[in-house]
Amino acid sequence: MKMIFCNKKYMWRFQLVLIVMVLVTSSCNSKIKKAKHYLNLAEKAYAEGQYERAKSNIDSIKMAHPKAFTEIRAGFDLLQQVRKAENKRNIAYIDSMIDASISKFRELKENFDFVRDVNYQEFGNYIPKLTPTGKTLEQTTLRSGVSEKGILFLESVISGVNLNHHKIKVSIPDGSYAESLTVTADGLNYTFKTLNKTYEIVRFFGNDENGMAEFIFTFQDVPISLAFIGKRIYTTSLSKTEKRAVGQSFELSRTLNELEDLKYEKGKTEALLRYLERGKEPAN
């Protein structure tokens, strides 16, 4: 009687273990099926060019079953293909943007003269044809230009007024304004005299310009006052021609900078693509 009871006890334990094993196996099979499902979805998304969706499904493979090693390895290989395809697509897109920027640059530069003194300058400047440099010393004005590298500059010119100015400010009737940074005497400040007149020229280059050109470009259809700030303040108004010339310089600078940024991004993307492709090469 005792033997029968023991046999029944062991039989019950055996059945319990068997049930647990069946449940675990069933659960594992279910998780593997789920991992395979995500892998199939990722492959489909990759084939359709839906790279973000493909990466999302690849991430889900390991989450579905961390021990689905075959599917995880297949997902990793697929991820490399997705990344390469993404980079190739990005390069093609950047190339199209570069072509558009070059086309725009060629159109804009028709409004400029390219000026460079080969004896002193490594890079030249684009000067708007609206404000030829030979005439601007005869009047108090604001002229502009763009370096060959895309850096915009403004030059304030005062004729016949002794201010020792080091800063300029532009404003519109509603009180909005933009103001340059201070350019000190050891910067691009020039003061000289003839028999009859005193001339002052201050160049606000790069950050010193402090957004003034964009302000003039934005509000060129409304009256803009120009203040020269030195030992006192002298104020005049910008003409339509002056505003238009500065606006042209701003557009050219922006286009050249966009072009440089695109070339930089293309270089980074190409470097990443080379890295991914090297990763698939067999070891020597």
Q: In the predicted model, is pLDDT for residue 23 greater than 50?
A: no
Q: In the predicted model, is pLDDT for residue 117 greater than 90?
A: no
- Residue 27 pLDDT class (50, 70, 90 cuts): very low
Q: How confident is the prediction for the chain on average, in pLDDT?
A: 86
pLDDT at 120: 84
pLDDT at 16: 46
The per-residue pLDDT for range 68-81, each reduced to its tens digit, is 788 889 989 999 99
pLDDT at 119: 86
The region of weakest confidence among 18-22, 47-51, 137-141, 161-165 is 18-22
DSSP string covering the chain: -HHHHHHHHHHHHHHHHHHHHHHHHHHHHHHHHHHHHHHHHHHHHHHTT-HHHHHHHHHHHHHH-TT-HHHHHHHHHHHHHHHHHHHHHHHHHHHHHHHHHHHHHHHHGGGEEEE--TTT-SS-EEEETTS-TTTGGGS-EEEEEEETTS-EEEEEEEES------EEEEE-TTS-EEEPPP--TTSSEEEEE-SS-EEEEEEEEGGGGTTHHHHHHHTTTS--EEEEESSSEEEEE--HHHHHHHHHHHHHHHHHHHHHHHHHHHHHHHHHHHHHHHTTSPP-
